[in-house]
Amino acid sequence: MALTETAPPEIEEPTTSEPYGMVRRAQPSGLERVLTTADHQTVGRLYVGFALAFLVIDLMVASLVNLQIASDGGVLDALVAARLDMNHLLGLALCGILPLALGLASVIVPKQIGSPTLSFARAAAWAQWTWLLSAILFGVAIVADGSYGGDNEAMARLGNVAVGAMLVALSVGVVCVAVTVLNLRPAGLGLADVPFFSFSMVVTASVWIMTLPSVLASVVRVHIVGPNTTDLATTGFAGVSWLLIQPAVYALLLPVLGIIIDSAVVAAGARLRYRGVFHGLIGVAALLAYGSWAQTDVARNTGVWVLFALAAVLPLLGILGGLGDMLRQERPSLISPLGFAVAALLVAVLAALTGAIAALDTGGSGSLVGFGAGSMARAQTYLVIGAAVIGLLGGCVLWAQQIFGQRLADGASKGLVLGAASGAILLGLPHLVLGLVQASDDGIDPRAFAGISAVGALLLALSVLGIAAGGASARRDAGRGDVLVADPWGTGTTLEWTDAVPNEITSPEPVLDAREAVS
Amino acid sequence: MSIIAPTVPAPILPRRRQLLFGATFASAGFGAFILTAVGMYLQARAPIESTWLSEHAIPLTQPNVQLGTLIMSLFTVQWAAYSIKRDDRGHAFLALAITLLFGLAFLNQTWFLFTQIGLPMATVEGPLFYLVVGGHLVMVGVAIVFLALMTVRAIGGNFSSSYPDGLSAAALFWHAMVAMYTVVWLTVYIMK
């Protein structure tokens, strides 16, 4: 530019807060943020909150179903009772346990591996909203005389479609969590070094992604023929109900195994020896929980199925023994998460033993001893559900600060351990005893057994309600802006118990390393 | 001579292998769905094998051509992944275009096969046939959309030798899709 040229006119700076006619976008409201966020903590909290609510409802329904038997059909209309009986176990699994595990994982897994986010964060958010919408539709379908066993054809189909949508959503959600563990670890933290809950979620994802689409195939198969209510109550229900029969039912327990081990580690505040053994035990448990091959009676009641059922006890006993040895040596703090962990593991072992006994009875075409097969199967499903619920509640208490914003009162939580453990045992054990007794007396009156089971379901529901209420209260109090320590237990060893990821990670317990370096 | 000052830090690339892991899990999920559907198909066919599809014969020409199409696409999709890893963008785009063309041709062939068979849903075979073939067709559709999205990103400059993951992941899913078709081809079209 020549120096003799006239200087260009100066452009006036805009004086308004909206330059050049642009409209400044208002800050999103709280509701908009919740609806559109891909933040892993928000996504996880939504899962946890709604799953706890659905668990309470489904456990109350389980109580009603058993009360119906106890009262000889005097509580509900017979058709309503049959419909609730068919759907409440599916509700417990798909609306309660699986999403609660996914919610805990969505909040905790990124923190455990020092990642600020989940992999495919928007897919995770999509999965959470799809699951929530589908779970609500499933409930609406049941209430409106539909879903499996319902008489309203449109609502029955809606229930089937809702189950399919939940399966898709949960599959997508668990893949996001697993890829996070596989891919977003910081340098120095190998896959064998991640905390056990994160490791168990990778294993869980491998099993769920091979199982849930198999159930989906049954859902689609029934749906494409334009089914009537009878089709859905027979073929449709048979196609999805194998998810709640061994070995597939153990897939509900896989995330809980990681929570149990992490709870014991926090209680002990020490390094866990033989990490590889625990990894192997979780892996074996996952292998034995793969059940897509055992969808029909023809595939079950075979030698392989019996072997799977017998072997399922072993990894649980291995974890029990390993943790027992560590706790014996380390003199742990008797914190409530440890109580939840021990209770969950013992109930899980009882469930596996129940399955093993039931499987042995298949010898001689089901007449080796002659146990009540239906009662035994119901007992095992209830015990697995009970163990899973206790373990997941333990996870909510252990990581309450990360999930709800504040630690829950430990004394009250210890009370809930007792409530949940006794609830789970009362829920499943009467059916086990009934099944065993039926070997000698086929005509025994089941009413007393069902009555005790109803009380167990109610106790378990109240325990879930207690955690949900405590969590809601903690979430409200967390808004006061109190300064919180990162590790309320004071004995955490892994990355979720610190605010800052260390520059150099040299062991599976980086927080313990830092604590030892200071002391 | 570079016009970028040596002090400028290198751009932060996305984490590698994220899409590959995601594509692996997605492949496993689709595989579980299709294998379960095939299992249902075989279970339903076993007791009535002599009369299965007796009124609605499936011609073998179309399924064979479809298999040939997909086998050719295996080479082209791998060609695309190979080229992008060597920053050979011209060859990568050419291979992607051919692969997408093969995918669309497969959809067209499937549609033609459906019209040739004319198998109604209100038969014993209908729901199971459409569950298996339709389930795989959905996988083909997802593979095409996935590859098309990665192609658009590649055109936008997203992938290179230092970050080839998008195309590698799409290629992995494509390979899984073809593997599933071989199962469908064998069980539904050949073992009639």
Q: Which of B12, B19, B21, B149 to mutate to test the interface with A (most CBs of A within 10 A)?
A: B21
Confidence tier at B13 by pLDDT (50, 70, 90): low
Residues A457/A423, Cβ–Cβ less than 8 Å:
yes
Question: In sequence order, what are the residues at sequence separation of 6 or more whose Cβ sits closer than 8 angstroms to the Cβ of residue A282?
Answer: A196, A199, A200, A203, A254, A257, A258, A315, A319
The correct answer on CATH 1.20.120.80 for the domain covering B18-45+77-190 is yes
Nearest to A375 by CA among A289, A453, A309: A453
The conformation of residue B33, written as its DSSP 8-state character, comes to H
The token pair at A180 is 């996070």
Helices A153-183 and A121-143 sit at what angle, rounded to 10 degrees?
A: 160
Could you list the pLDDT tens digit for every one of the 519 residues in chain A?
Answer: 444 555 555 555 555 555 555 556 667 787 888 888 889 999 999 999 999 999 999 999 999 999 999 999 889 999 999 999 999 999 999 999 999 999 999 999 999 999 999 999 999 999 999 999 999 999 999 999 999 999 999 999 999 999 999 999 999 999 999 999 999 998 888 999 999 999 999 999 999 999 999 999 999 999 999 899 999 999 999 999 999 999 999 999 999 999 999 999 999 998 998 999 999 999 999 999 999 999 988 888 889 999 999 999 999 999 999 999 998 998 899 999 999 999 999 999 999 999 999 999 887 676 788 888 899 999 999 999 999 999 999 999 999 999 999 999 999 999 999 999 999 999 999 999 999 999 888 788 999 999 999 999 999 999 999 999 999 999 888 877 665 677 889 899 999 998 877 778 888 988 888 888 887
> How many other C-beta atoms lie within 10 A of the C-beta of residue A195?
29
d(CA B96, CA B103): 10
pLDDT of amino acid A4: 53
Inter-chain touch A210–B28, beta carbons under 8 Å: yes
Find the domain containing A98 and state its range.
38-498+506-518
In chain A, what residues touch B126 (CB-CB under 8 Å)? 225
Beta bridge partners of B163: B160
Contact B36 A296 (CB under 8 A): no
Q: Is A510 contained in some domain?
A: yes
A308: in domain: yes
Smallest Cα–Cα separation from A95: which of A15, A166, A145? Answer: A166
Residue A373 lies in a domain: yes
CA distance B85 to chain A (A): 20
- Residue-level length of chain B: 192
State the ipTM, two decimals: 0.91
Q: Could you tell me the two tokens for A327?
A: 């706790």
Q: Which pLDDT score is estimated for A151?
A: 95
Say if CB A351 and CB A387 are below 8 A apart.
Answer: yes
With beta carbons less than 8 A apart as the criterion, state whether A124 and A118 touch: yes
| Residues A149, A165: Cα–Cα separation, whole Å | 19
Domain presence at residue A395: yes
- Residue to mutate among B20, B24, B33, with most A CBs inside 10 A, is B33
Residue A462 within any structural domain of the chain: yes
Residue A340 included in any domain: yes
Q: pTM for the whole thing?
A: 0.92
DSSP state of A253: T
Q: What does the block give as tokens for A446?
A: 């089941």
Cβ-based contacts of A212 with chain B (< 8 Å): 29, 32
Q: Where are the alpha helices (DSSP H) in A184-274?
A: 196-223, 229-231, 237-241, 254-268
How far is C-alpha A115 from the chain's CA centre?
22
Q: At residue A445, what is the residue type?
A: D
Structure letter (DSSP) for residue B163: B
Residue A179, class by beta-carbon neighbours within 10 Å (0-12 exposed, 13-18 middle, 19+ buried)? Answer: buried
Q: Return d(Cα A287, Cα A275) in angstroms, integer.
A: 18
Domain assignment of residue A230, yes or no: yes
What pLDDT is recorded for position B3? 58
Residue A346 CA to residue A317 CA, distance in Å, equals 9
Q: Extract the tokens encoding A333.
A: 């703090």
Predicted confidence at residue A24, as pLDDT, reads 60
Contact A220 B128 (CB under 8 A): no
Rounded CA gap, A458 and A11, in Å? Answer: 73
Strand-pair partners of B150:
none
Number of domains in chain A: 1
Res A481: pLDDT: 64
Residue B144, amino acid: I
Q: Which of A226, A274, A284, A232 is closest to A253 using CA atoms?
A: A284
Min Cα distance A243 → chain B (Å) is 14
With contacts defined as CB-CB under 8 Å, which chain B residues touch A206? 28
Report in angstroms the alpha-carbon separations of A476 from A319, A404, A417, A447. Answer: 37, 9, 23, 43
Q: How far apart are CA B124 and CA B47, in angstroms?
A: 12
**What are the helix (H) ranges across chain B?**
18-45, 61-85, 89-117, 125-155, 165-184
Q: How far apart are CA B79 and CA B168, in angstroms?
A: 10
pLDDT of residue A516: 84
User: Collapsing DSSP states into helix, strand and coil, what is residue B160?
Assistant: strand
DSSP-assigned beta bridge partners for residue B160: B163
CA–CA separation, A359 and A344 (whole Å): 22
Give the separation between CA A320 and CA A306, rounded to whole angstroms.
23
- Give a yes or no: residue A186 inside a domain: yes
- State how far the Cα of B156 lies from the Cα of A122, in Å rounded to an integer: 21
Token pair in block for residue A187: 């340098």
Peptide bond before residue A110 is cis, with ω within 30 degrees of 0:
no
Query: d(Cα A52, Cα A290) in Å, to the nearest integer?
Result: 26
Partner residue facing A183 (CB), from B21, B35, B43: B21
C-alpha A456/C-alpha A53 separation (Å) is: 18
The string of DSSP codes covering A351-410 is HHHHHHHHHHTTHHHHTSS---HHHHHHHHHHHHHHHHHHHHHHHHHHTHHHHHSSPPPH
Record: contact A225-B127, CB cut-off 8 A: yes
Here the CATH number for the domain that contains residue A430 is 1.20.210.10
Chain A: give the shortest CA distance to residue B65, in Å: 27
Contact A120/B at CB under 8 A: yes
Q: Mind listing the pLDDT tens digit for each residue in B123-162? A: 999 999 999 999 999 999 999 999 999 999 999 988 999 8
Maximum separation of any 2 CA atoms in chain A, in Å = 114
B131 vs A contacts (CB less than 8 Å):
217, 220-221, 224
At A398, list the tokens.
């252990």
Amino acid occupying residue A98: L
Nearest to B15 among A183, A205, A221 (CB): A183
What distance lies between CA A397 and its chain's CA centroid?
A: 14
User: How much is the pLDDT for A331?
Assistant: 87
Query: Which position has the token pair 């208002």?
Result: A26
Contacts of B35 in chain A (CB under 8 A): 214
What the block records as the tokens of A294 is 């055992």
Closest CA to A498 of A507, A511, A508, A512: A511
Q: What CA–CA distance (Å, rounded) separates A494 from A264?
A: 13
% of chain B with per-residue pLDDT over 70: 92
